[in-house]
Chain A
Amino acid sequence: MQDRPDAVELIEAVRHFLEQEVLPAQQEQRGKFRTLIAANALRIVVRELNAGAAPAARERETLRALLRTSEGEVRELRLELARRIRGGAADGGPWRRAILDYARASVEAKLAVANPRFLEGGNAG
């Protein structure tokens, strides 16, 4: 067990440094823009750490059920599902509904970390 600051607190300290010290020192638009992107990347990391391992575990179980398998991790299962969709396996029927529901939930879980404002109908971009 590490002492404080913990991982999230350390990242927040770096983000504070970027926003309060690095950003005002940028003379040019390009430098300002990149500093803001870097600070935003740290916000993404903090949301991901706070979400923990549960979302990935849920997605793994959903994928295993869809693909009727008891093994495999999210990365390889997504690849297998992608391959089957491209082959036409989700063109229609009840499986299509299940795949669409999975895809929606998976993308929403990704955006809850990457850009929650987009999920609310806004656009941080």
Chain B
Amino acid sequence: MSLSEELERYLEPHGYRLIALRRLAGGASQEAWLVRVRDGSQERDLVLRRDMGGALSSSARTRGEEYALLTAAHTANVPVPRVLFEPLTVEGREAFFMEHLEGETIGRRLVRDQAHAQARLLLPAQTMQALVRIHDIPLRSVAFLGTARGPQDLIAALERDLDACNEGHPALELGLRWLRLNAPPLERAAVVHGDYRVGNFMVGPEGLRGVLDWELAHAGDPDEDLGWFCVRAWRFGRDDLPAGGITTRERMLEAYRNAGGHAVTLERLRYWEIFGNVKWGIGALTQASRHLRGEELSIELAVLGRLAAEMELETLRLLAETEGA
């Protein structure tokens, strides 16, 4: 049975007739489809998210877990796409439907285009408020995330991912070693989104419409999300605004505090920004290795093997800044 036939059968009892199916640019461990359906006399779009073969890293969530996270986030008043129906299995892979949010997600456009100037003013406060609410989600409501892991555990997982690529990367090793030697203790355990950044926000003229891509969520130190937000790759060229190409680190931390979050020092933020650059560097290599091993042949994955050097350079730059100070 083809994908469209399976979906047709699934949707029919829900009162929807399948009109068209179109693949969207997906994430690393999942694919996304835009599903056009007829609902009585009206047509509407749904999004289908489905697991892919292989995974981005040892910690990627399944679609069933992502469904549960979106549900918990909605309960916590975090703007997210609403999940629909129950999780399902399509062609043997876990999947779920969610509503389709309109708007812009492309980071390069959001940080540069005049059309998004108003949204850029609103996003720092909105994204930090949503982040505080994510960090306040009770861990017991998403128990599948497991016990909160501190930096040492995360570094060990990154080392395993890097070892699986079977290539020597001295710059990333220097970053990993520095992270090992300077790891802060785990002071508070929270739901960590894991990929909280410009590019994973659905944005309209009124600002944040939805927090997307929960596939890297885990239980850990909430400061990890703040450091990741500042990783150079997610500034899309706006290096004058280190926090996501939309604000400064200082104003980002102030917005997080104003929304009810805990106080985070710049030094602590720096630790997690270095962590983020190392993590994305290894993530890029891991994705490229999926292509190289033939798990998923893709030009997008293949070139990431070469772009990991960008994160290596930024890691070395941040280490030099930190050690020089």
Which A residues have a C-beta under 8 Å from some C-beta of B?
A: 28-30, 33-34, 37-38, 40-41, 44, 75-83, 85-86, 88, 90-91, 99-100, 102-104, 106-108, 110-111, 113-115, 118-119, 121-123, 125
Contact = CB atoms under 8 A, between A and B. Distances in A.
Per DSSP, chain A at the interface is helix
Interface stretch (B65-73, B171-179, B254-262): B171-179
Contacts of A90: 174, 177
Given A82-B170, A123-B232, A125-B108, 6 more contacts: A37-B303, A81-B168, A86-B159, A91-B177, A99-B174, A114-B310
A29 B170 contact: no
Nearest to B298: A34
Given A34-B299, A34-B300, A88-B177, A107 B316 contact: yes
B24 A30 contact: yes
Contacts of B300: 33-34, 37
B310 A125 contact: yes
Nearest to A122: B237
Nearest to A83: B168
Contacts of A80: 168
Q: Which of B170, B176, B235, B236: most chain A CB closer than 10 A? A: B170
B25 interface: yes
Contact of A78 (B167, B181, B316): B167
A19 to B, nearest CB: 14
A75 to B, nearest CB: 7
10 contacts: A30-B24, A77-B168, A78-B167, A81-B168, A91-B177, A100-B316, A106-B171, A108-B313, A110-B312, A123-B237
Give the contact-size bracket for chain B. Answer: 35 or more
B233 interface: yes
Contacts of B320: 100
A85 B310 contact: no
A118 B23 CA distance: 31
Contacts of A81: 168, 170, 173
B174 A85 contact: yes
A106 B237 CA distance: 23
B94 interface: no
Given A82-B169, A99-B170, A99-B174, A44 B306 contact: yes
B316 A118 contact: no
Given A115-B307, A125-B233, A75 B316 contact: no
B309 interface: yes
